[in-house]
Amino acid sequence: MSLTEYRRKRQFDKTREPAPGKPLPKGERPIFVVQLHHASRRHYDFRLQVGDALKSWAVPKGPSYDPKVKRMAVEVEDHPVSYASFEGDIPHGEYGGGHVALFDHGVWSTPYDPEAQLAKGHLRFELFGEKLKGEWHLVRSGKAARQPTWLLFKEKDAYAGPVEADELLDDVTPPPGAPKKAAKKTAKKIAKVAPKRRRKVDWAAKASKLPGAKKATLRNEAFEPQLAKLGDTAPSGAQWIHEVKWDGYRLVATMVGGKVRIWSRNAIEWTAKVPELRAALEALGVQSAAFDGELIAGRGTQADFNLLQATLSGEQQGALSYVLFDLLHLEGVDLRKAPLVERKALLEDLLSTPTPHLAYSSHVPGDEGDAAFALASEQQFEGIISKRAQGAYHAGRGDDWRKTKRLDSDEFAVVGTTPGQGARTGFGALLLARPDPEHGWSYAGRVGTGFTGELIREIVEHIGKRKTSTTPTVYVPPNAITPADGKRATWFKPAFVVEVFIRGIGNSGVLRQPSLKTLRLDKDVDDLLDSDRAPAKKAAKKTATKRAGATARERAPAPETRLSSPTKIIFPDRGITKLQVAEYYRAVAPHLLAGIAGRPLSIIRCPSGAGKPCFFQKHHTAGLDVVRFVRLKEEAGINANYLVVDDLAGLMELVQFNALEFHPWGSHADTPDIADRIVFDLDPGPNVPFAEVKRSAQQVHDLLQQLGLQSFLRTTGGKGLHVVVPLNPGNRWPLVKQFAKGFAEALAGSEPDRYLATATLKLRPGKIFVDYLRNGRGATAVASYSLRARDGAPVAVPLAWRELAALKRGDAFDLDATVARLKKQRKDPWAGIDTIRQDLASLG
């Protein structure tokens, strides 16, 4: 987000408003703030943190809790995140002069990418404030205006009600001289938009009927959860039930007097970190309860764990859920000694009315353990948890709960590093240790794969300036470490915990082929003394100080340059930053522009980097000042504004907007119905060697030549190759599409064992799909010299046909190799592509 306009409008020697540049809070989730602004025209300023700035709208009448009422919201300049705490007077005569007061603030979330939604013109989001709660919408108006205009309105949810923002001002600081009112009326009004009460049930009576239940007073404090032991196979028999093993963070929750507190398994309070969970539990409408469950993102699979961490640290937006699998207290009744299946049945009843962010963890009977494990594996879950159906709830680890993991992983303490080699900086590998009943800790091996650039920096930060040694600080079994590693290693005392995937245990107890799964900031090394693989040994006393800010991640301050967030990691596997991406595009701009300038353009934007969700954009959006647009009719008959880049300034504006890939039309914006390019994309299916792809490209070249058509070669930056046919003066799209389809089908018909002209997945193995579908009005293909949003930062590179024989892969060139190639290149391999006179009409 650019703060240039914010700076331009303010003189910071005359106003108390915060200047940009203050570092963002570490590891915190995105915030929202609403301020009441008594400027020349009274209005509410509605602000959502997106990235490193507050997206801002002026809402004249303020938010309404009535879903039928849509408030006009005028988009204004981005503000720094530090503006969220600003209250007071802006001097009259300065921009926005008048009184600013805080109306509400808190955390906000959305299950989708916020920048993509804003670009599309519809942002769906949830607010967790004192006054503003539940789901809301911002929808961009189609009306032409000097400033983009949106509509802000409430979703029809449990918090909706007949309340206006102006009715909730009794606790808001008034302008100087105005009387301040008591906050009682505001509290009464807020009560009107509290979640609607659920069905009236005597939960205490239901809970008292469970065997072993007894009356008790619940204290609003953390409790020690029950833990599982690791097994090789799922136990069977009627005495067991089986649940999915969710891949998230274990959380317990207590509710006293209708107020919820949430804790990690190590008794660190998480209530403020997960306001959606607190709100969801309080919406259940009970006064006292104790829950056990798992905090997850997405579906709670192994693949979703990184999303969970990124959401909690504020690096990404994602929907969080609390999957509940046990109920230990309800309305004054202690249920710990009740049978597990009875507790779960009561929990399921309590959750029978769907509640956002809460889910019930169902189970299957004991004789279906193998089937449950197979299904969990198929669905990419970590495994299953098997529990004794009639078991009571016991704190700590025991045999009543057993876990069976799909992919073997374990947690280890980091006790040292080896130096980095090649492009790896910071360290080469982490040295690991496990608890040892005889020696305290013993060396378990090294892990040197599975790291992203971001993780490397975070781990280096956690290592910090620890006291190091050239001799091991843990017991090293004989022959457990190689002489080379022994000489290069730096050792320190057990420092922090990582979880690694392992593929067996080798000689001397050393891990075989480990790879990093994640950095476990929710645990410290003392937790491993009570792990499922450790001997029974009392864990050392943990301190809250050591855990404070455990999920914090360093966030860069808002930069002073035109390119926002230059240090943001775009290619995490290589640690390549946004600045490096921008420098690459500046270096190749003359060559890239030769293929995209003046053409309708689609881009792939990656606001959080290539390792996170990206989105495809073809329409012009608010905020683009240099990139122009051309108004074109789409297939549905609707006119839309398509992106067009003409020069370096336009290209770099899209790079600033996190564009990584550039996909032009095969026609120009001024003649959109006339094609001047045909692209055959040779896309290999599974088990097709690249040598076969090269042979196919040469064959396509030769066949086209027999038709009198010259063609050009390009790597795609992926697995395949492009064969590009220039048309001059060009042909209409229906003829081009007919030719491309006929050529592909003829090739597939002549050699059906090698080629396909359809994209049917089940037919793809062992064959090359001759993709002709890129040859239609509105279809695109990746441009020469465009990066691809994939590991390694590969580039689509044009080649001379004579270079085909030596080519090793379709992604053989990355951004560094491409720049180096251009510096040495004497002749453009596509020289003459725009001057060749050929078209399909001449084929007869």
What is the DSSP code string of 117-183? HHHHTEEEEEEEESS-EEEEEEEE--S--SS-EEEEEE-SSTT--S-BGGGG-TTSPPPTTSPPPPS
Phi, psi of 349 (to 5 degrees): -65, -45
3-class state of residue 697 by DSSP: helix
Amino acid at 149: T
DSSP H or E segment with residue 76: strand 71-79
Q: What is the pLDDT of residue 99?
A: 95
The hierarchical CATH code for the domain 674-776+797-836 is 3.90.920.10
- What's the pTM? 0.56
Q: Domain-by-domain residue ranges, the chain?
A: 4-192, 203-405, 409-540, 569-664, 674-776+797-836
Structure tokens at 318: 């994602």
Residues of the chain with pLDDT under 70: 1-2, 143-145, 179-199, 407, 423, 503-504, 506-507, 530-562, 622-623, 634-639, 844
Q: How far is CA 683 from CA 205, 574, 744, in A?
A: 65, 26, 12
Name the DSSP class of 586. Answer: H
Q: What is the pLDDT of residue 373?
A: 84
The hierarchical CATH code for the domain 409-540 is 2.40.50.140
Across-strand partners of 497?
413
Separation CA 761–CA 452 (nearest Å) = 31
Separation CA 310–CA 307 (nearest Å) = 5
Which of the following is catalytic: 55, 245, 273, 767?
Answer: 245
Separation CA 163–CA 161 (nearest Å) = 6
The verdict on domain 203-405 having CATH code 3.90.1720.10 is no
Beta strand residue intervals within 347-478, DSSP E? 358-360, 364-365, 383-388, 396-405, 409-418, 429-436, 440-447
Question: Which residue, chain included where needed, has tokens 């300034």?
Answer: 649
User: Positive or negative CA dihedral for 506, 509, 510, 512?
Assistant: positive
Structure tokens at 604: 């792939």
Q: What is the pLDDT of residue 553?
A: 26
- Respond yes or no: is residue 403 known to be catalytic: no
Q: What is the pLDDT of residue 723?
A: 98
CB 410 within 8 A of CB 528: no
Separation CA 157–CA 362 (nearest Å) = 26
CB 63 within 8 A of CB 131: no
Give the number of other Cβ atoms within 10 Å of residue 95's Cβ.
16
Q: What is the pLDDT of residue 623?
A: 64
Separation CA 22–CA 717 (nearest Å) = 39
Q: What is the pLDDT of residue 441?
A: 93
Across-strand partners of 605?
615, 659
Q: What is the pLDDT of residue 594?
A: 95
Q: What is the pLDDT of residue 625?
A: 73
**Within its chain, how far is the Cα of 160 from the centroid?**
29
